[in-house]
Amino acid sequence: MGRRNDHTRKELKEMAIKAGVELIEERGFQNFSIRKVAAKIGYSAGTLYNVFENSDDLVFHINSVTLDDLQNYIETKLDQELKGVEAIKRMGDRYIEFAHEYNSRWNALFEYRRPLDSELPQWYLLKLNSLFAIVEKLLLPFVHGDIESAKRVAKVLWGGVHGICSLGLTQRMGQDGTELLKTLANSLIENYISGLTQAKE
Amino acid sequence: MGRRNDHTRKELKEMAIKAGVELIEERGFQNFSIRKVAAKIGYSAGTLYNVFENSDDLVFHINSVTLDDLQNYIETKLDQELKGVEAIKRMGDRYIEFAHEYNSRWNALFEYRRPLDSELPQWYLLKLNSLFAIVEKLLLPFVHGDIESAKRVAKVLWGGVHGICSLGLTQRMGQDGTELLKTLANSLIENYISGLTQAKE
DNA sequence: ACCTGAACACCGTTCAAGT
DNA sequence: ACCTGAACACCGTTCAAGT
């Protein structure tokens, strides 16, 4: 036993995150464990504690990769031609598609339901922020450029679409498939914005 | 060891569910285990396997109690005077209050994020249905009495409010308190319905 | 028939001891 | 300095054996 020095700290971290992503993807989050990740990369479990605070910390890093992939998925498939409400509806569609296609990893994003007082890591919150920012930008025209309003509206829409997707994919609204969920999300986006702009005039 | 027959099967089941509710309430879902529930009621863990299929089955029964409490919480606090949109907005408020007040149990409701193909128990789905039914009934006037439309709109609204509540309470939209979350949910309900009825005319 | 306790195959986490 | 393996305190689940 003892030092091997096969990999740098940084390499180790990357290997573990990659292995974790694969483990969740292949076998679902229920089968995830820090011990399995260690086995997958050929190290002992203890070693991962040199590199991550604990199991939660590793999961947050895995989730961070998933958020990057999600952002990428949404942005690259977002037709630049689309404007305004249509663009936001397309984003909703992409979110639901991603959640369906990468279901285990998307689930992992929300596994950490902690007591109210527990906090998410700061760097993780920043990453979430940049997802919200995409919608905020698209919303500016509807709120006369007021960034605070855009932020609020973005929360309503992301929250709303996420909720429909979440209850839908976990079978809590019946047997609805992704197509219906997209329809519901589109309905939410379209009518909410329509109601909002109506009221302002 | 051996038979005690202190309690009937039914009593045992009720004791376990009650103990589970308390355990989650007091120490959070992370600290829940079927072994702790067994200890709490003075039986061995094995005994609970005579009465529940497995740990998941016990959790579903605990969640069932939570859904009853939620329905009760919403209905008893729902001012009978309120009509239409105002009544639905009040429901959203109550949902968020409940999720905040009984946060651990509310969290437990959504812990079971399983692979897409796993199914929730039939009796549990029926219970969820009766929650949706409350909103559907309130929505009928807005959709010219069309029950299918009411069902769709109810999914959008429950989903939407749940999503705002879920992302909000788990700190995924920032540091927003329940008051702001209620405002967001109200905005969703009001403007969505407004947009919806506008479009129909 | 009902219940227990031990057993099995796992967890996350810590840390003395080895190189 | 880095890494391991054993240890600790847990899990969910099964089942032979006891009353």
Contact at 8 Å (CB) between B161 and A163? yes
| Residue B57: count of CB within 10 angstroms of its CB | 15
Q: Does the CB of B1 fall within 7 Å of any strand D atom?
A: yes
* pLDDT, averaged across chain A: 93
* pLDDT, averaged across chain B: 93
Question: Is the pTM for the entire model greater than 0.85?
Answer: yes
A119: confidence class by pLDDT, cuts 50, 70, 90: confident
Instruction: Pick from B167, B182, B186 the residue to mutate for testing the A interface (most A CBs within 10 Å).
Output: B167
**Pairwise CA distance, residues B156 & B150, whole Å:** 10
B123: confidence class by pLDDT, cuts 50, 70, 90: very high
A1: confidence class by pLDDT, cuts 50, 70, 90: low
Round to a whole number and report the distance in Å from the CA of A62 to the C1' of D11.
Answer: 24
**Pairwise CA distance, residues A137 & A141, whole Å:** 8
Q: Averaged over B107-113, what is the pLDDT?
A: 87
pLDDT tens digits, B131-188: 999 999 999 999 999 999 999 999 999 999 999 999 999 999 999 999 999 999 999 9
- Mark yes or no for CB contact A158/B173 under 8 Å: yes
| Residue B138: count of CB within 10 angstroms of its CB | 23
| Residue B53: count of CB within 10 angstroms of its CB | 10
Domain with CATH 1.10.357.10 in chain B: 54-200
Considering CB atoms only, which of B128, B155, B194 is closest to A164? B155
Which residue from B102, B95, B103, B93 is spatially nearest to B182, judged by alpha carbons?
Answer: B93
pLDDT of A201 strictly over 50: no
Task: State which residue of chain A sits closest to B132, comparing Cα positions.
Answer: A173
Q: Which residues of B touch A184 (CB under 8 A)?
A: 152, 155-156, 159
Percent of chain A with pLDDT over 70: 97
C-alpha of B76 from chain center? 16
Question: Strand locations in A97-200, DSSP E?
Answer: none
- Mark yes or no for CB contact B164/A184 under 8 Å: no
pLDDT tens digits, A96-118: 999 999 999 999 999 876 777 77
**Pairwise CA distance, residues A197 & A180, whole Å:** 26
Which protein residues have their Cβ less than 7 angstroms from some atom of strand C?
Answer: A 1-3, 32-36, 45-46, 49, 54-56; B 1-7, 9, 12, 42-47, 50
- Mark yes or no for CB contact B100/A112 under 8 Å: no
The 8-class DSSP code of residue A141 comes to G
B130 burial (CB, 10 Å; 0-12 / 13-18 / 19+) is exposed
Tokens read off for B148: 């299918």
pLDDT number for residue B201: 47
Q: Which residues of B touch A28 (CB under 8 A)?
A: 114-115
Task: State which residue of chain A sits closest to B24, comparing Cα positions.
Answer: A115
Contact at 8 Å (CB) between A66 and A49? no
Residue A40, C-beta contacts closer than 8 angstroms, at least 6 positions apart? A19, A22, A23
Nucleotides of C under 7 A from a protein CB: 1-6, 10-19
Nucleotides of D under 7 A from a protein CB: 1-6, 10-19
Q: Specify the residue for token string 């909002």.
A: A196
Name the maximum alpha-carbon separation found in chain A.
73
pLDDT number for residue B118: 79
Most confident range (mean pLDDT) of A80-89, A179-188, B168-177 is A179-188
Name the maximum alpha-carbon separation found in chain B.
73
**Pairwise CA distance, residues B56 & B34, whole Å:** 9
Element (DSSP H or E) covering residue A76? helix A55-76
Residue B173, C-beta contacts closer than 8 angstroms, at least 6 positions apart? A128, A132, A155, A158, A159, B164, B167
pLDDT number for residue B142: 93
Cα separation values, A155 from A129, A187, B160, Å: 11, 17, 11
B79: confidence class by pLDDT, cuts 50, 70, 90: low
- Mark yes or no for CB contact A112/B170 under 8 Å: yes
- Mark yes or no for CB contact A116/B169 under 8 Å: yes
Percent of chain A with pLDDT over 90: 85
Which residue from B78, B106, B100, B85 is spatially nearest to B179, judged by alpha carbons?
Answer: B100
pLDDT of B26 strictly over 80: yes
**Pairwise CA distance, residues B135 & B95, whole Å:** 12
Q: Which residues of B touch A172 (CB under 8 A)?
A: 120, 128
C-alpha of A26 from chain center? 18
Domain with CATH 1.10.10.60 in chain A: 1-52
- Contact pairs from chain A to chain B, CB under 8 Å: 168
Q: Does the CB of A2 fall within 7 Å of any strand D atom?
A: yes
Nearest nucleotide relative to A39: CA against C1': D4
Which residue from B71, B112, B96 is spatially nearest to B168, judged by alpha carbons?
Answer: B96
* HSE-CB of B82 using CA atoms within 13 angstroms: 14
Question: Strand locations in B66-201, DSSP E?
Answer: none
Which residue from A18, A89, A111, A85 is spatially nearest to B107, judged by alpha carbons?
Answer: A111
**Pairwise CA distance, residues B115 & A99, whole Å:** 12
If one looks up domain B1-52 in CATH, what number appears? 1.10.10.60
If one looks up domain B54-200 in CATH, what number appears? 1.10.357.10
A66: confidence class by pLDDT, cuts 50, 70, 90: very high
pLDDT number for residue B4: 84
pLDDT tens digits, B181-190: 999 999 999 9
